[in-house]
């Protein structure tokens, strides 16, 4: 097992996975996003937490929430040790449960923290029979735990949203900045500046992030790293490995094996 972190999967629940980070000082991230809904708890130490344009400090007992596509990052505070557990759930399964994505990005509710730890234990550590029941019960309760709305910093800009949607739809294509500018009807300089303010990444950074998300999904299915790298638009396996480590703080091989 990797000493810093490991991924957990339950073969009965292919729509969800978890990550346990034992030493967060060794698992540092560049700003990135996920296609899944992400929720996790800080189990020890302190860290910084960037979600959109909001930066805050986390301590043990905190719960964080990241909606699909939202750029975020969590990293150790001045080299201090910290640990956490994260749960990643595919959006289609959540939608089938009638779950509405929350606005909250953070909670210090002790009941929520305890409930999520129990979900980790039942679904991944013990893999109890009928584990999906525990997941459904948790997401049914989640809105009641979130008493206060989280920080949501969004600026409505349909042309920037068009640019982001175009990147997502064509993430496996050889996109250029001019292609994106043409679709969005924006100049190069304005697009780069405004896109970064809106999404936390430049258009190129957002494209790389989207390609990493595609690679992650395919590796989870057990496909070969080199094959996935080329399909996702990376020059080679080494190129994917560098990007994967920056965005997910894990190598493709570590992620695919889950340990």
Instruction: Inform me whether the pLDDT recorded for 1 exceeds 70.
Output: no
The arithmetic mean of pLDDT across residues 205-219, rounded, is: 94
Token representation of residue 79: 């080299």
pTM: 0.78
Chain segment 9-46, per-residue pLDDT in tens: 888 899 999 999 888 888 888 899 999 999 999 999 99
Which residue would you say has higher pLDDT here, 116 or 152?
Answer: 116
H helices within 89-157, ranges in order? 91-96, 110-120, 131-145
Q: Could you tell me which of 68, 256, 53, 50 has the C-alpha nearest to residue 168?
A: 68
State how far the Cα of 23 lies from the Cα of 76, in Å rounded to an integer.
Answer: 9
Domains belonging to the chain, first-starting first, are: 5-145 (2.60.120.10), 158-257 (1.10.10.60)
Contacts of residue 132, Cβ cutoff 8 Å, sequence gap at least 6? 12, 13
The whole-number average pLDDT for the span 240-251 is 91
pLDDT higher than 50, residue 144: yes
Judged by DSSP in three states, 84 sits in: strand
Average pLDDT over residues 53-65: 91
Q: What is the pLDDT of residue 259?
A: 62
pLDDT at 198: 84
**Side-chain half-sphere of 144: how many Cα atoms within 13 Å?**
7
Whole-number pLDDT of residue 154: 47
């Amino acid at each position: 097992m990797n000493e810093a972190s490991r991924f957990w999967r339950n073969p009965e629940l292919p729509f969800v996975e978890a990550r346990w980070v034992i030493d967060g000082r060794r698992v540092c991230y560049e700003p990135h996003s996920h296609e899944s809904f992400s929720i996790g708890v800080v189990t020890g130490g302190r860290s910084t937490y960037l979600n959109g344009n909001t930066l805050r400090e986390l301590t043990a007992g905190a719960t964080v929430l990241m909606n699909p596509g939202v750029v975020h990052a969590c990293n150790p505070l001045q080299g201090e040790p910290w640990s956490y557990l994260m749960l990643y759930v595919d959006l289609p399964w959540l939608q089938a449960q009638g779950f509405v994505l929350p606005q909250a990005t953070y909670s210090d509710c002790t009941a929520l923290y305890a409930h999520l730890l129990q979900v980790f234990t039942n679904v991944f550590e013990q893999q109890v029979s009928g584990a999906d029941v525990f997941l459904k019960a948790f997401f049914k309760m989640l809105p009641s735990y979130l008493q206060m709305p989280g920080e949501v910093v969004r600026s409505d800009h349909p042309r920037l949203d068009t640019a982001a949607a175009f990147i997502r739809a064509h993430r496996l294509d050889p996109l250029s900045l001019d292609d994106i500018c043409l679709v969005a009807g924006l100049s190069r300089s304005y697009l780069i500046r405004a896109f970064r303010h809106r999404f936390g990444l430049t258009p190129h950074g957002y494209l790389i992030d989207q390609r990493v998300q595609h690679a992650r999904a395919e590796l989870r299915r057990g496909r070969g790293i080199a094959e996935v790298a080329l399909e996702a638009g990376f020059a080679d396996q080494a190129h994917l490995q560098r990007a994967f480590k920056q965005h997910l703080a894990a190598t493709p091989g570590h992620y695919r094996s889950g340990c």
